[in-house]
């Protein structure tokens, strides 16, 4: 079995959760069963002692009433000799002497005056015998005749049989525990595999797609939310592949047209201005195709974020399943428990479904500008990448974000914040930064509400910091970036919202500042 599947994975977390829960329950059950079994063995020993006491009292009733100590001694001495488990018997009369009989001797003892009055109750206990130098079972039996107390019988029984039964019980529990441990491992493994396999498959395919392999498809045929997500994901990849093929074809056609137009321009100088306008228009169309491709690639990355976002509710679903199994085994599975479990499962699935709705609505562009709360908007963007940052051990430092009213396109602004957070995440991962973090603050001045994003990835090289907002410029590996994310972010903020998007290097990393006009500063 590959040990890596248990390290920081959905499978590992669900497996450990189920295994530990079942093991704890079985351990508590075994502990309680051991106590009950011990009590049962002691009860049987007490019943045996009571039966002996009843027999001795019944046979010697007449002798006890007339105080015939010789007859009592003869009977009890023979009784001790015949019952090997009986180590000794004391016949104690309330107002008389104590007759002590053991298997090899007997004696008559005078009771001290202070011991002539005792409480007449039946009891049993395990005590240490100074004479025998070992633990014994002592049973105290009060004797009554016509509801008048006569005295007591003290029976000292051997614990050898008790210890044999205890040893046998421990061996049985050891074999049973080994069987239950193996069963728990198998059950936990298959339940964890059943829950985690679809989401792990989806995450692996998402990584391949984000690395440029558009031939991959998700093969999940279930009818639940994951199955529907897989279908949507495959449609998105088909569209992305079609757009890429169309873009490649358009590039080839454009290159042919440019060559053709170059020849024509030499001959048609009078129509140069018209031709240039036509080419610029066509280039803008190609740029729109690139922008669409970038959005689709971003949606592909969002699928990976959904996978991380679903880990916690999937763990909770695994716990609900374990509780149902345990209740079934204990016989506590009733309508009320099932109703409660069903409500909890429905709540978790609604939460997972809402995650999909949040990601779908995130990419819908706003048609008109509107006022919105800057803090709430940034929180929304953070919620989409928070799980991904946590997955890569990137801490998010974010003080309480004040709600500052600003004016612009809310969704487009969210995409800008998300794009900058994603670039920071990629830089931290690529540089393998120790103690990686992303810090977000919000403040305002006389004209703008400002969102400040910092990281500790080492900053942007000074020779390219002035180029990062240029179209098609990227420092990422081939197939992992289009080079138009920051370019489009700057267009959205500065041209569409009359704001500013700035970058500078700090001692530990890069600092992006997004400035958007306050609500009262709208044009």
Query: Whole-angstrom Cα distance, residue 517 to residue 447?
Result: 6
Q: Where are the domains of the chain?
A: 13-17+25-164, 212-359, 364-521
pLDDT of res. 448: 93
Residues of the chain scoring pLDDT < 70: 1-11, 111-120, 195-196, 214, 220-222, 224-226, 267-277, 279-320, 322-323, 326-327, 332-333, 337, 340-341, 343-345, 347-367, 472-484, 522-523
The backbone torsions φ and ψ at residue 391, rounded to the nearest 5 degrees and listed phi first, read -60, -35
Looking at the DSSP bridge assignments, the partners of residue 144 are 149
What are the tokens at 447?
Answer: 């004209």
pTM over 0.85: no
Please count the other Cβ atoms lying within 10 Å of the Cβ belonging to residue 79.
17
pLDDT of res. 116: 44
Q: Single out the residue of 430, 405, 425 nearest to residue 485, CA to CA.
A: 425
The backbone torsions φ and ψ at residue 393, rounded to the nearest 5 degrees and listed phi first, read 60, 40
Domain 13-17+25-164 has CATH 3.30.450.20: yes
pLDDT of res. 514: 94
Please count the other Cβ atoms lying within 10 Å of the Cβ belonging to residue 5.
16
- Whether 305 contacts 387, CB under 8 Å: yes
The torsion angle over the Cα atoms of residues 190, 192, 195 and 200, rounded to 10 degrees, is -110
Q: Order the strands of the 106-109 sheet from edge to edge.
A: 106-109, 98-102, 86-93, 148-157, 134-145, 123-129
pLDDT of 342-368, one tens digit each? 766 676 566 566 556 555 555 555 557
pLDDT of 106-133, one tens digit each? 777 776 544 444 566 788 888 887 777 8
Look at residue 230 and give its three-state secondary structure.
Answer: helix
pLDDT of res. 437: 94
pLDDT of res. 342: 77
Nearest 5 degrees, angle CA 123-CA 124-CA 128? 135
Contacts of residue 287, defined as CB under 8 A and 6 or more positions apart, other chains included, come to: 471, 484
Query: Whole-angstrom Cα distance, residue 493 to residue 500?
Result: 6
- Whether 94 contacts 151, CB under 8 Å: yes
Contacts of residue 476, defined as CB under 8 A and 6 or more positions apart, other chains included, come to: 426, 430
Query: Whole-angstrom Cα distance, residue 357 to residue 53?
Result: 79
CATH, range 364-521: 3.30.565.10
Please count the other Cβ atoms lying within 10 Å of the Cβ belonging to residue 280.
10
pLDDT of res. 505: 92
């Amino acid at each position: 079995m590959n040990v890596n599947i248990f390290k920081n994975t959905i499978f590992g977390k669900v497996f450990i959760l189920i295994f530990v829960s079942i093991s704890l329950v079985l351990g508590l059950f075994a502990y309680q069963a051991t106590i009950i079994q011990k009590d049962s063995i002691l009860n049987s020993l007490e019943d045996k002692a009571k039966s002996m006491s009843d027999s001795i009292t019944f046979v010697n009733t007449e002798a006890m009433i007339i105080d015939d100590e010789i007859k009592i001694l003869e009977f009890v001495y023979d009784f001790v000799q015949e019952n090997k488990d009986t180590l000794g018997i004391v016949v104690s009369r309330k107002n008389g002497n104590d007759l002590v009989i053991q298997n090899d001797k007997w004696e008559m003892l005078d009771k001290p005056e202070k011991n002539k009055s005792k409480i007449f109750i039946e009891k049993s206990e395990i005590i240490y015998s100074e004479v025998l130098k070992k633990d014994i079972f002592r049973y105290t039996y009060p004797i009554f005749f016509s509801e008048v107390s006569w005295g007591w019988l003290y029976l000292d029984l051997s614990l050898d049989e008790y210890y044999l039964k205890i040893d046998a019980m421990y061996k049985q529990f050891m074999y049973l525990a080994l069987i239950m441990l193996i069963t728990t491992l198998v059950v936990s493994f298959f339940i964890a595999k059943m829950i985690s396999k679809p989401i792990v498959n989806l995450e692996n395919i998402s990584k391949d797609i984000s690395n440029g392999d558009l031939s991959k498809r998700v093969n999940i045929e279930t009818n639940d939310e994951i199955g529907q997500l897989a279908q949507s994901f495959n449609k998105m990849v088909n569209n992305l592949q079609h757009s890429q093929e169309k873009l490649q074809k358009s590039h080839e056609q454009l290159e042919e047209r440019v060559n053709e137009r170059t020849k024509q321009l030499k001959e048609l100088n009078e129509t140069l201005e018209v031709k240039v306008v036509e080419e610029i228009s066509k280039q803008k169309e190609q740029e729109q195709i690139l922008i669409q491709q970038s959005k689709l690639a971003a949606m592909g990355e969002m699928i990976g974020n959904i996978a991380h976002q679903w880990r916690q509710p999937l763990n909770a679903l695994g716990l609900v399943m374990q509780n149902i199994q345990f209740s079934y085994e204990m016989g506590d599975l009733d309508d009320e428990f099932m109703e409660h479990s069903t409500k909890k499962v429905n709540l978790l699935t609604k939460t997972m479904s809402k995650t999909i709705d949040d990601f779908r609505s995130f990419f819908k562009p706003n048609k008109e500008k509107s006022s919105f709360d800057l803090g709430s908007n940034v929180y929304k963007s953070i919620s989409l990448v928070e799980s991904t940052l946590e997955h890569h051990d990137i801490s998010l430092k974010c003080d309480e974000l004040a709600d500052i009213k600003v004016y612009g396109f809310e969704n487009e602004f969210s995409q800008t914040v998300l794009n900058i957070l994603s670039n920071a995440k990629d830089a931290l991962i690529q540089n393998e930064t120790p103690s990686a973090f992303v810090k977000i603050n919000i403040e305002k001045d006389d004209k703008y509400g400002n969102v400040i994003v910092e990281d500790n990835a080492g900053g942007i090289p000074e020779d390219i910091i002035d180029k990062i907002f240029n179209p098609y410029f990227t420092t990422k590996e081939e197939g992992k970036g289009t080079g138009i994310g920051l370019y489009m972010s700057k267009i959205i903020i500065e041209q569409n919202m009359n704001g500013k998007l700035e970058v500078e290097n700090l001692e530990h990393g890069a600092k992006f500042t997004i400035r958007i006009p306050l609500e009262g500063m709208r044009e």
